[in-house]
Amino acid sequence: MKFTRRDVIRTTAGAAAGALGSRFVGSPAFAQEGLKYKPEEGAKLRLLRWSPFVKGDEDQWLANTKRFTEATGVEVRVDKESWEDIRPKAAVAANVGSGPDLMFVWFDDPHQYPDKLHDVTELGEYLGSKYGGWHDGPKQYATRDGKFVGLPLATIGNAIVYRESWVKEAGFSEFPKDTAGFLELCKALQAKGHPAGFTHGHGVGDGNNYAHWLLWSHGGQMVDESGKVAINSPETLKAIGYAQELYKTFIPGTESWLDVNNNRAFLAGELGVIANGISAYNTAKINKDNDPKLAEIAKDIRTTNLPIGPVGKSVELFQVTTAVIFNYTPHPNAAKAYLQFMFEDPQMTDWITSSAGYCCQTLKAFDNNPVWTADPNNAAYAKASATLRPNGYAGPLGYASAATMADYVLVDMFAKAVTGQATPQEAMEEAEKRANRYYRV
């Protein structure tokens, strides 16, 4: 429901609503022009978000939430869950029709239960037109059939994190930009006792990011534009062959790695190269005053985007998170007002800044946030929303793309082949069979 500033003033003229009204008028965020939603009488909201990897993100989100409560009187309870547990929680909430009013979900979750989500097209279009438009990748995750079923909140970028001194020691003056040079570097690093490590285990983020990069950088794809499974291809075989070579240079144990293993091993000085969000660097940077070893690592860390493969351009997955409002909420207007408030400047600017490179903006107007130039290591994550390729490429997002990724079809294909449990051909055919199941052939 739209309401103008005049409506607000009229509403707040009543004595009973006087106090609340004065807060609305006095709030800079609510003094701005644009779409307005009037929260339902006595509305309270519950938001379930993922546990932060960078503390500043959560602190600022809570601070912005407090500002919203002060401005509107709407209390918002913010709960958090381990990020890998968000997907099942959201699925259950959608199916059961009960749970938090709002949730930060991952990847193509909104495409699994679009009918259970509140239509926020009006708000999505308003924010897009006000803030320079949405980046296409995150927008795809949040829209279905032309409607916004959620608001693309952020992209968690993934980049190469490496030790500069070790790369130089391995004989490379700069980090290789292509996959061939990257393989040579990993071989040299292993010879020097500073191996690389990329997860072949069931790591929701790291495992999928790495597997999709391997496939896409060699021109492979899970499905074609029409959604027909196309994994059985010479390009996939090339990707598997490359993965086998790269795997030989890894630290042992990457088949069992989940999402946190690479951070830990890297920060312990066991690894020369990982692919990760900014969190590994952030941890070293934040704790450098308390730990001389971390101080040394933080000084030596450099970041760069993953190498470009035979396909000739940068193609990466990245984790995208979308803020959704469930249909069952009794306070949809309050929820929309909350999301609008959080996406508006200065809240969004403050949040991106405090996230210290972890959360990448989805609205183009925030591209020039100072955080991306504040530290040279943040730059590799700055364009995550602009460059990402959604999973299920080149087909549409939906049940099938979500299920295929959740079932680790691609991750297992590479893991099987690199560990010698299957030949590349067998691994690829197994993946094709499993993908066909989800794409219902």
Partner 1 sequence: MAVPSVAAQPRPSMLSRISESRNALGFGFMLPAAALLLVFLTYPLGLGVWLGFTDARIGRPGIFIGVENYQYLWNDNVFWLSVFNTLLYTVSASILKFVLGLWLALILNENLPFKSFFRAIVLLPWVVPTVLSAIAFWWIYDSQFSILSWALQQMGLIDHRINFLGDPENARASVIAANVWRGIPFVAITLLAGLQTIPQSLYEAATLDGASRWQLFRYVTLPLLTPIIAITMTFSVLFTFTDFQLIYVLTRGGPVNATHLMATLSFQRGISGGQLGEGAAIAVAMIPFLLAAILFSYFGLQRRKWQQGGGD
- Binding residues for partner 1, rule: CB under 8 A, are 87-88, 91-92, 94-95, 112-116, 200-202, 251-258, 261, 264-265, 268, 270, 399, 402-403, 406-408, 412, 415-416, 419, 421, 430, 434, 437-438
Residue nearer to partner 1 on the CB measure, 241 or 253:
253
**Nearest approach, Cβ of 38 to partner 1 (angstroms)?**
29
Residue nearer to partner 1 on the CB measure, 186 or 402:
402
Give, in order, the Cα–Cα distances in Å from 414 to each of 11, 183, 277, 418, 426: 61, 16, 22, 6, 11
Compute the distance between CA of residue 214 and CA of residue 206 in angstroms, rounded to an integer.
12
Residue nearer to partner 1 on the CB measure, 114 or 272:
114
Which distant-in-sequence residues (6+ apart) come within 8 Å of 112 by Cβ? 91, 94, 398, 399, 402
Residue nearer to partner 1 on the CB measure, 91 or 237:
91
Residue nearer to partner 1 on the CB measure, 180 or 268:
268
Compute the distance between CA of residue 307 and CA of residue 158 in angstroms, rounded to an integer.
12
Residue nearer to partner 1 on the CB measure, 108 or 235:
108
**Nearest approach, Cβ of 425 to partner 1 (angstroms)?**
15
**Nearest approach, Cβ of 255 to partner 1 (angstroms)?**
4
Q: Judging by DSSP bridges, how do beta strands 151-156 and 359-360 pair with one another?
A: antiparallel
Give, in order, the Cα–Cα distances in Å from 257 to each of 150, 193, 200, 438: 31, 20, 7, 26
**Nearest approach, Cβ of 348 to partner 1 (angstroms)?**
29
**Nearest approach, Cβ of 418 to partner 1 (angstroms)?**
10
**Nearest approach, Cβ of 363 to partner 1 (angstroms)?**
27
**Nearest approach, Cβ of 220 to partner 1 (angstroms)?**
19
**Nearest approach, Cβ of 402 to partner 1 (angstroms)?**
6
Q: Three-class SS of residue 275? A: strand
Which distant-in-sequence residues (6+ apart) come within 8 Å of 280 by Cβ? 161, 262, 263, 266, 267, 274, 301
Angle at 24 between CA 20 and CA 25, to 5 degrees: 120
Percent helix, strand and coil across the chain, each to the nearest 5:
50, 15, 35
The dihedral built from the CA positions of residue 396, 398, 400 and 406, taken in this order, carries a sign that is: positive
Residue nearer to partner 1 on the CB measure, 117 or 188:
117
Tokens (6 digits) for 437:
């199941």
**Nearest approach, Cβ of 385 to partner 1 (angstroms)?**
24
Residue nearer to partner 1 on the CB measure, 115 or 145:
115
Which distant-in-sequence residues (6+ apart) come within 8 Å of 115 by Cβ? 327
Residue nearer to partner 1 on the CB measure, 105 or 315:
105
**Nearest approach, Cβ of 262 to partner 1 (angstroms)?**
10
Residue nearer to partner 1 on the CB measure, 215 or 342:
215
| CA neighbours closer than 13 Å in the CB half-sphere of residue 401 | 29
Q: In what order do the strands lie in the sheet with 319-325?
A: 75-81, 44-50, 102-106, 319-325, 151-156, 359-360
Compute the distance between CA of residue 381 and CA of residue 244 in angstroms, rounded to an integer.
27
Q: 291: which DSSP letter?
A: -
Compute the distance between CA of residue 369 and CA of residue 383 in angstroms, rounded to an integer.
11
